[in-house]
Structure 1
Amino acid sequence: MDAKLKGAPSFIWRSLWSSLGILKEGLVWRVGNGSGIKIWKDKWLPRPVTYQIQTPINMLDSETRVEPLIDKDCRSWTVDLVQSVFREEEAKLICSIPISRRGASDRRIWVGSDRGTYTIKSAYFIETKLSNRSFGEPSTTGSKNSEWRDLWRLEVPGKVKILIWKCLNNILPTKDRLYKKNIVDNYLCPVCEREKETIMHALWVCPAAADIWGGETSTFRKWRRDYPDFQQLWGEMIKKLSQENIELAAACSTTYHIWTRRNAYTFQNQPKNPASIVSLAQTDLASLKEIKQSNNTNAVRSQERGPSQLWKPPEWPFFKVNFDVAFDKDKESMGMGIILRDSEGGLQATFTAPKTHILLAFQAKVSALHRAMELCSELGLNQVIIEGDAKVVIDSVNSKNEDNSWLGQEIDDL
């Protein structure tokens, strides 16, 4: 990680070295026993963007490892020491980091993905963040976030949202874009064959698109045609089409079908009537509305029926443990409940306890599952069925893939 690029390097080494910045940005330490992590220098806090301690160096010198902050006997943080060394906010965050109960070694994980595993896609996003940081974030970041919220909240099919997202990011594969990448030999619109096919031309200006937007009953009949880019057109739509987003949803769906009409004509030589495009857009929205109403009706019926699965006792000689948690995000705490019953349904043991320094519901459920397993071990039981409603936790435990996420060591401990 600290390698230098010396004189006359090979092409392969120079290529590998050029990606070092991305690796340094995406690799962080996950605490195991703390022996390999330097408190003040390494990246080990689950907090973007730096993942490093911001508290000024005090009490412990600059080379001190994380290990002295951990009580080796209890396999937990030495809370008093942590609170005396770090600022309150960082102390709470540190105490919420799970520690390997097995004393496993510290591990480097990749923050670009939820599972902590490197992927090309996650590296691309980290590279994009680095580029934005180098050149400075645009002053319109707030408005951009608002644009995305307006888009993702729309009640339109996912395929429509993806198309609009591509338009706003200027990555729709129009002839102009493909020509610049030397994929096609000209940039003319394949429909009108007269002008450069940009996103605005294909979806708004081209006569084939203008006929649709300019229909007798169209809201857009008198709208201007000279918007410089799709971002400005989208902003105008958000501003003017406010009738519970019904008109905006219709506009998005129409945009999608204008693009599919263009593709059908270009690749299959199948021209479509402008009236059919409006009809298809309306059908899409009507179908989506019908599906949502059906789902809501089914949800109400399900609630009226109550739980669909009743508790069943295990077969002899097994015992069954059920666990559940109550998680308070604001107070960063949880309460757990565990109950143990035999094959006849007879109560054998119960356990309840609170726990602090819990930041995530997943973390709370893992803690409860671990305590349930400990309870069985304390009672000398080894033929036990453990049952809970924490599907994500159960799937993680049963998964054959290694979990390199921030909380992965808790799954490993199980």
Structure 2
Amino acid sequence: MLQELWKSDLPSKINITVWRATLNYLPTLVNLRTKRLVTEAICQRCKQGLETREHVFCDCAVTKETWKQLEFSWPQSIRQSEFMEWFTWILLNNTTEGGRIFICAIWAIWSARNSWMHEEQRRSGTETANFILRYMQELKDTKNKDLALNQEPELWRPPKQGFFKINFDAAFDSIRHKSCSGIIIRNFRGEIIASKTTVHTNIFSSFAAEANACLQAVREGRNMGLNHVIIEGDSLTVIKKAQSPERDRSEIGTFIFDIKAQAADFYECQFQQV
């Protein structure tokens, strides 16, 4: 099963943390008490048991909430078993993508535990689950973008006469929670009509950065008084959400709502992925 871990195509910080967990090298309170570094070993999150490795990842009430939100389940007999038996069962009974989410969850649960213990950031199990799903989506979007960059570049295609094409893209700084959106507007001859870059603060994912860049593209076209536009970007997820008539309830739902509301001011507005 450790081979599956190293083949998971996840960041090394995740694989190393999970590898340390399989060896029981993580500094749980029980491990620290064994080394006489602490005297109290009760789990500080749920106060319902000794903080062993198995408790952190299986039995803690906060952790159980995370697994429930991620829709992971396993036989009752496995729950109290030795860690590697539980770890192996999960990887053997899930898809490749499910295994990647599980491995990421082990890392995220330990990180959330550390934030609770050392930084007093009390993240619920549901919040941890949402973070895991967002993080996995960001990894997927980044990989897709890298694959697209390595392929033969597609030539930009001008819109038909009477339309303006607005291309958007975004850069994301995960450390400072900032993003930069860039847009460029061309007419049917391919002539540049306008371009703009804007730095944004309080952006917490690359997913949100792309959605915000799309919103900036729509706003700029509306501010210029354009009537027939094509909004084009490389984020397939954002484009699909903008095209969908359904209300979006994801973390970027607010951006998508604003995009649709402002796009309604055009005579015609199309969303395309490139």
Amino acid at match of 2:145: S
In structure 2, distance between residues paired with 1:224 and 1:212 = 20
Amino acid at match of 1:175: L
Structure 1 length-normalised TM? 0.35
Amino acid at match of 1:297: A
Amino acid at match of 2:63: A
1:172 partner SS: coil
Listed as ranges, the matches of 1:28-43 within 5 Å are: none
Q: CA deviation at 1:156?
A: 2.4
In structure 2, distance between residues paired with 1:256 and 1:191 = 17
Q: CA deviation at 1:174?
A: 0.3
In the alignment, structure 1 residue 257 sits paired with structure 2 residue 108: yes
Name 1:167's counterpart in structure 2: 21
2:151 partner SS: helix
In structure 2, distance between residues paired with 1:297 and 1:149 = 28
| 1:373-401 deviation line (CA, Å, top 9, x unaligned) | xxxxxxxxxxxxxxxxxxxxxxxxxxxxx
Where structure 1 has 5 or more consecutive residues not aligned to the other structure, the ranges are 1-146, 303-414
1:214 partner SS: helix
In the alignment, structure 1 residue 295 sits paired with structure 2 residue 146: yes
8 Å Cα contact 2:66-2:125 kept in structure 1: yes
Structure 2 length-normalised TM? 0.52
In structure 2, distance between residues paired with 1:289 and 1:160 = 15
Listed as ranges, the matches of 1:308-327 within 5 Å are: none
Name 1:198's counterpart in structure 2: 52
Amino acid at match of 1:258: I
| 1:164-190 deviation line (CA, Å, top 9, x unaligned) | 101111101100001111111222212
Q: CA deviation at 1:157?
A: 2.6
Q: CA deviation at 1:198?
A: 0.8
- The answer to which structure has the higher strand fraction is 2
Change (3 A) 1:218 1:284: same
2:81 partner SS: coil
Given candidates 57, 60, 72, the residue that maps to 1:219 is: 72
Where structure 2 has 5 or more consecutive residues not aligned to the other structure, the ranges are 154-274
In structure 1, distance between residues paired with 2:150 and 2:137 = 20
Q: CA deviation at 1:224?
A: 4.8
Name 2:6's counterpart in structure 1: 152
Given candidates 260, 273, 285, the residue that maps to 2:136 is: 285
- Identity between Structure 1 and Structure 2 (%): 19
In structure 2, distance between residues paired with 1:228 and 1:175 = 19
Question: Runs of 4 or more off by more than 4 Å in structure 1?
Answer: 221-225
Name 1:276's counterpart in structure 2: 127
Name 1:232's counterpart in structure 2: 85
Change (3 A) 1:181 1:252: same
Given candidates 238, 246, 254, the residue that maps to 2:97 is: 246
